[in-house]
Chain A
Amino acid sequence: MANFVMPRMGADMTEATLVAWKVKPGDEVSRGMVVAEVDTAKGVIEVECFQPGKVLELVAHEGELLPVGAVLARILGPGESAVEAAQFAGEHREEISGVATAKERAATKAVPAPARKPGAGAVSSSDRQPITPRARRMAEQAGLDLANLRGSGPNGAISVVDVEQAIKARVGNDTAGSRAVAGPAEPESAGRMRRAIAAAMEQSNREVPHYYLRTTVDMKAGLDWLTQENATRSVARRLLPVTLSLKAMGLALRQVPELNGFWTEGRFQPGSGIHIGFAVSMRGGGLVTPAIHDVDQLSLDHLMARLTDLIPRARTGRMKSSELTDGTCTLTSLGDLGVAAVWGVIYPPQVALVGTGQTALRPWVVDDEVLPRPLMEVTLAADHRASDGMIGAKFLETIGRLLQSPQAL
Chain B
Amino acid sequence: MSRHTATEIREAIGAAIGNIAPEADWAGVDKQADFRRILEIDSFDFLRILVELSEKLGVDFPEAEYGRLVTLAGLVAYIESAEQAAEG
Q: Which residues of A contact B (CB under 8 A)?
A: 227, 230-231, 234-236, 238, 240-242, 283-284, 307-308, 311-312, 335-337
A235 in complex: contacting residue of B21, B40, B43, B51, CB < 8 Å:
B51
Name the distance in Å between B17's Cβ and chain A's nearest Cβ.
12
Among all A-B residue pairs, the 5 with the closest Cβ atoms: A336-B42, A235-B50, A235-B54, A230-B63, A235-B51
Given that A227-B63, A283-B21 are known contacts, is A234 also in contact with B54, CB under 8 Å in the complex?
A: yes
On whether the beta carbons of B44 and A235 are closer than 8 Å, the reply is no
Which B residues contact A (CB, under 8 angstroms)?
21, 23, 40, 42-44, 47-48, 50-51, 54-55, 60-64
Cα A337 to Cα B43 in complex, Å, equals: 10
Main secondary structure of the interface of A (DSSP, over half): helix
Bound: A250/B63 CA distance, A: 27
Q: In the assembly, what is the distance between CA of A236 and CA of B51, in Å?
A: 5
Q: Is the CB of B47 within 8 A of A231?
A: no
Q: Which residues of B contact A284 (CB under 8 A)?
A: 23
- A238 near B43 with CB under 8 A, answer no
**10 more A-B residue pairs beyond the given contacts A240-B44, A241-B43, with a C-beta to C-beta distance below 8 A:** A227-B63, A231-B64, A235-B54, A235-B61, A236-B51, A242-B43, A283-B21, A283-B23, A283-B40, A336-B42
Which chain A residue lies CB-closest to B37? A338
Q: Closest residue of chain A to B60, judged by CB?
A: A234
Q: List 29 A-B contacts (CB under 8 A).
A: A227-B63, A230-B63, A231-B62, A231-B63, A231-B64, A234-B54, A234-B60, A235-B47, A235-B50, A235-B51, A235-B54, A235-B61, A236-B51, A236-B55, A238-B47, A238-B63, A241-B43, A242-B44, A283-B21, A283-B23, A283-B40, A284-B23, A307-B44, A308-B48, A311-B44, A312-B48, A335-B43, A336-B42, A337-B42
Q: How far is the CA of A347 from the CA of B48 in the complex (A)?
A: 29
By a CB distance below 8 angstroms, the chain A residues around B40 are 283
CB distance from B74 to the nearest CB of A (A): 16
Q: How far, in whole Å, are A312 and B16 apart by their CA atoms in the complex?
A: 13
**B interface majority secondary structure:** helix
Taking A235-B50, A235-B54 as contacts, is the C-beta distance between A336 and B60 under 8 angstroms? no
Task: Give the residue name and chain of the A residue nearest to B42 (CB).
Answer: A336
Q: Taking CB as reference atom, which chain A residue is nearest B21?
A: A283
Most chain-B Cβ atoms within 10 A of its Cβ — which of A284, A307, A311, A336?
A336
Instruction: Determine if B47 and A240 form an interchain contact, defined as CB atoms under 8 angstroms apart.
Output: yes
Evaluate contact between A236 and B63: CB separation under 8 angstroms: no
The residues of B that contact A335 with a CB separation of less than 8 Å are: 43
A236 to B63, CA, bound (A): 12
Q: Residues of A contacting B62 with CB < 8 Å?
A: 231
Tell me which residues across on chain B come within 8 A of A235, comparing CB atoms: 47, 50-51, 54, 60-61
A234 to B64, CA, bound (A): 12
User: In whole Å, how far is A229's beta carbon from the nearest beta carbon of chain B?
Assistant: 10
- For A230, list chain B residues within 8 Å (CB): 63
Q: Which residue of B lies closest to A229 (CB)?
A: B63
**CA–CA, A311 to B55, complex, Å?**
20
The verdict on A236 contacting B54 (CB below 8 Å), with A283-B21, A312-B48 known, is yes
Which of B43, B54, B64 interacts with A240 by CB under 8 Å?
A: B43
A336 to B51 CA separation, bound complex (whole angstroms):
19
* Residues of chain A within 8 A of B47, CB atoms compared: 235, 238, 240
Chain A nearest Cβ from B29, distance in angstroms:
16
CB neighbours of B55 from chain A (8 A): 236
CB-nearest residue of chain A to B63: A230
CA distance A230 to B43 in the complex (A): 14
The CA of A373 and the CA of B40, in the complex, are separated in Å by: 27
Interface-centre pick from A236, A240, A241, A284 (highest chain B CB count, 10 A): A236
| A237: nearest chain-B partner, CB-CB | B51
Residues of chain B within 8 A (CB-CB) of A337 are 42
> Shortest CB–CB separation between residue B15 and chain A, in angstroms?
15
- Distance A292 CA – B7 CA, assembled complex (angstroms): 40
CA of A74 to CA of B33 in the docked complex: distance in angstroms?
57
Q: List the B side residues contacting A227 at CB < 8 Å.
A: 63
Expressed in whole angstroms, the Cα–Cα distance for A301 and B21 within the complex equals 26
How many angstroms between the C-alpha atoms of A308 and B23 in the bound complex? 21
